[in-house]
Amino acid sequence: MAVYTDITDQELEGFLADYDLGAPLAFKGIAEGVENSNFLLETEKGRYILTVYERRARPEDLPYFLNLLGWLADRGYPSARPVPDQAGRTLKTLRGKPAAIVGFMPGLSVRKPSPAHCREAGEGLAWLHLAGEGYEGRRANDLGQPHWAPLFSKHRQAAEDLKPGLAATIDKDLAEMALAWPRSLPSGTIHADYFPDNVFFRTDGKFAATIDFYFACDDAYAYDVAVTLNAWCFEADGSFNVTAAQGLIAGYERRRPLSPAERDALPMLARGAAMRFFLTRLADWNATPAGALVRPKDPLEYERKLAVHREGLSLFGGRA
């Protein structure tokens, strides 16, 4: 929720001169996306989002993300289409930083998803997995299971400071996951950050669009389902809403049925997905100076989800 880069009217005019979008009519920084600066841009041709890529986005990854957006839009998936400049380029430079213009997607995200929202979101995720098939871009999941133990080794003390005894618990989790992690599930292009703020709904509650593909990568489809279960199906009190989870999976299976192996793997995948977000939040927490006005997200939210999964999820009639 921030705009890190300030764009002047003159910089905008110079930037738009490369495009065939007509003159700008309105331009406003918007509080959307945590990692990049986003602007609502209205021109004589329509409405767009201008994104300036900040610290976390690696420039060499940006063609992968923009080409994926183009691929998905070509296949009718409701995600923003990158807008090429007059020379056909979608990845540009603005104020010395990488930048791109994509189409504006209408819709609203929900803060507290109902089971009906979870069902719709699940279907939207399966649609994304199917629409992404055949995309030739490749990006390894640099926040996947092999990366967790090295990441944790840098932040063990921060975990211990948050909750005494936690470091040893996480060590044990990581060792168990390294042994039991499912490695031969159907894989392809996943979103990897399919949280409620990245999914838009129509007024009637139907799935409308997916945004913010800047963690997309190659990994197991069921891992994306597991990330989504964690993001959508926990109550504020930390309890897991099995009704919402079953709705999410039923919605997913309207488009792409899970195999028995994927179903069996879900509890471990959900535990791992909780570990991934616990670890990156822990790292962000640890990197933020005390007294800063902007507090990072609480790592303990995901530590609690991890604890729930450590006990074993029971999604499909008793298996865990």
The crossing angle, in degrees rounded to 10, of helices 221-232 and 115-131 is 160
Structure tokens at 92: 């540009």
For residues 129 and 192, give the distance between their C-alpha atoms in angstroms, rounded to a whole number. 11
**301 part of the interface to a copy of itself, by CB under 8 A:** no
Structure tokens at 272: 């791992």
Candidate residues 17, 184, 294, 317; the one interacting with a copy of itself per rule CB under 8 A? 294
**60 part of the interface to a copy of itself, by CB under 8 A:** no
> 37 or 230, CB closer to a copy of itself?
37
**214 by DSSP, 3-state: which?**
coil
> 88 or 96, CB closer to a copy of itself?
96
- 189-208 positions binding a copy of itself, by CB under 8 A: 203
Phi, psi of 109 (to 5 degrees): -85, 160
**17 part of the interface to a copy of itself, by CB under 8 A:** no
Surface-to-core class of residue 308, CB atoms within 10 Å of its CB (0-12 exposed, 13-18 middle, 19+ buried): middle
**287 part of the interface to a copy of itself, by CB under 8 A:** no
Region class of 294: left (phi > 0), else alpha (psi between -120 and 50), else beta: beta
Q: Which stretch binds a copy of itself (CB under 8 A): 9-17, 121-129, 134-142, 298-306?
A: 9-17
Residue 62's CB is within 10 A of a number of other CB atoms, namely 18
Q: Which stretch binds a copy of itself (CB under 8 A): 72-80, 220-228, 230-238, 290-298?
A: 290-298
Candidate residues 21, 40, 143, 185; the one interacting with a copy of itself per rule CB under 8 A? 40
**34 part of the interface to a copy of itself, by CB under 8 A:** no
Q: Using CB under 8 A, list all residues that contact a copy of itself.
A: 1, 3, 8-10, 12, 23-32, 40, 42, 44, 106-112, 203, 289, 291-294
